[in-house]
Structure 1
């Protein structure tokens, strides 16, 4: 499994230490084996998860090549690849084993080996595919791709073919952040036509949820944030109401707007106090989805009787509960129809400016950075 057959020189952004900046380095990547595909990366989205791993909120071993919203063109395939071929345009998404009960049931985001396959730093068997300029291994297989690089290896199951006429450099975030927000609304919560929906957080995930709620036919769509420019954009993307939580009591505002409480809500900030307030502002039989990822061990509190007597529920959601082979092409079609304009969230950076992109994302200047990688 560690053969260097078909290996090539690559350029990659490497994290070498906790809370340290990305370093652009020369490295070497082995060729594809088994059901793997080698992808020439055109562009990769920068996601909050990349940054919390850089800062070691999650215990991914370092040094590592991160990146998990890659989009590119298949360069070569392993001997057991069945459908993809060189030249195909693909979006890379999360890893899954494909054969445990959740995977077989169409819930690959809840794969029994999800953490090992996406955060383990190797192929699940202790092998890495990338070595640095000194020949030392770099941890990789991040979300089964490690796409902060000019080339990446993925498995056929997480390389999703998209139409050749779609703008490939734009599509990488559909593999994680955008599909998380949209999928939470359309797949997990199953927001209904005519219902009310509240998005706690108007970053890239929260605004993707706002756009999806509009697609779903929700008639009251509330965006909650502290950044006025984000709230303005939310109105342009489909929100019917906005709440600045620095200026207004969120629970009172959501109850007033919805006439008693939201039917559906999504928490994408990772802040436990925001989650608690969102649960309190649910209506009877309301459902709160949780996608914001804080540090491991973070707890939140809520009134148990408020949950019990109102028939309310809280749902943890990973990757928008999507079947990527189905859902990502659906999002591409919605975008091409003008019904899901996620390009409004994006700003492009060259790979060499990855640290600036990370800073702009952290400061809220850029909603969704995308790193252009191919010349």
Structure 2
């Protein structure tokens, strides 16, 4: 857990309550490290410390509540963000735009304000992060946050499908849904951006342009199917316009800075769509050319790929098993005891998608 703003994660004994009627007890096998874990540790976003973070967990069901259906002890699951299932967006099939998304996933508590987690002194802990707090050997999760996956899939690799990989792939396949042959540019070749590149291959996009400052990550993007790699520079937009002969049909900002979103929008052709999946802090603003937008261009904010996790995560697993979504190529594994090293490697760019193994 993290006990101070910006401090290291500490491994401690924690008391975990019993699952409620609609909850599941899961033994965590592995958890990915996400940029969101880091900015919450640094208190850019809530919940505050002491808190148990982690939200890309995968594990094995050990117990289920009395009202849980479709899950049983022994099932393999990927843990995903939670939603209320009752608001207008949930009912319309957009649970990642849930009216209560922030409260349920960043509140550090169950919806009723309680917590299943206490430290060795009995003090309550902020947890239930994204419904899971997967930086823990065992977690209590709502049934709707546990997605059953085939046992033949390597469970130690699957955790990032719950957030980063779902976000990038879903942004392309679900939110933007480019027709085959569409041009697309992806800003940022981290885990989210590379998932978007792999999804663009699945969608049949051409060209697929990856933009990043890191040359080795651009090489990885090409290995995963990008047709062009552009080193971020002052003339990035001009390079994209030259490759696409006027502008991209779709652009995805997986960085989340005002400068990259502005470039993503500017690089669009008439009628093009830019998606934003990256974010770094509340209150950032971006200026855009209104006349440029007027000619049919769209800017779309996308949370967690705008997917239905219970449907989309099994789809990604199936694509992986068929060799069409080779996300294993971007994963670096660490023992749980080295979680702070894994986080440091994520911050410095030494690892694209670190995963800690329990």
Moved over 3 A (4+): none
Correspondence for 1:340: 325
Instruction: List runs of 5+ in structure 1 lacking aligned partners.
Output: 1-13
The aligned runs of 1:140-289 (5 Å cut-off) are: 140-246=127-233, 249-289=235-275
1:119 aligns with 2:106: yes
Structure 2 unaligned blocks of 5 or more: none
Identify the match of residue 40 of structure 2 among 34, 37, 53. 53
Q: 2:312 aligns with which of 327, 332, 356?
A: 327
TM-score scaled by structure 1? 0.94
> Aligned partners of 1:95 and 1:15: how far apart in 2?
22
Partner of 1:79: 66
Deviation at 1:59, TM superposition (A): 2.7
- Measured in 1, the distance between the counterparts of 2:22 and 2:151 equals 22
1:365 alignment partner, SS class = coil
Q: 2: CA distance between counterparts of 1:337 and 1:170?
A: 15
- Provide the secondary structure at the position in 2 that maps to 1:65: coil
Deviations 1:38-68 (A, max 9, x none): 0000000110110111011113122100110
Instruction: Please state how far the C-alpha of 1:301 moved relative to its aligned partner.
Output: 1.0
**Contact 1:61–1:120, Cα closer than 8 Å, also in 2:** no
Deviation per CA, 1:56-96: give whole Å up to 9, x if none.
11131221001101000000001110110000000000011
Does the 8 A contact of 1:95 with 1:118 survive in 2?
A: yes
2:28 corresponds, among 35, 41, 45, to 41
2: CA distance, partners of 1:235 / 1:61: 39
Tell me how far apart the structure 1 counterparts of residues 86 and 149 of structure 2 sit (CA, whole Å).
24
Give the Å deviation of 1:166: 0.5
- Offset at 1:183? 0.2
Q: Does 1:301 align with 2:290?
A: no
> What are the Cα deviations for residues 278-319 of structure 1, in whole angstroms up to 9, with x where unaligned?
1111111110000011210011111011011x2100000001
Normalised to the residue count of structure 2, the TM-score between the two structures is 0.99
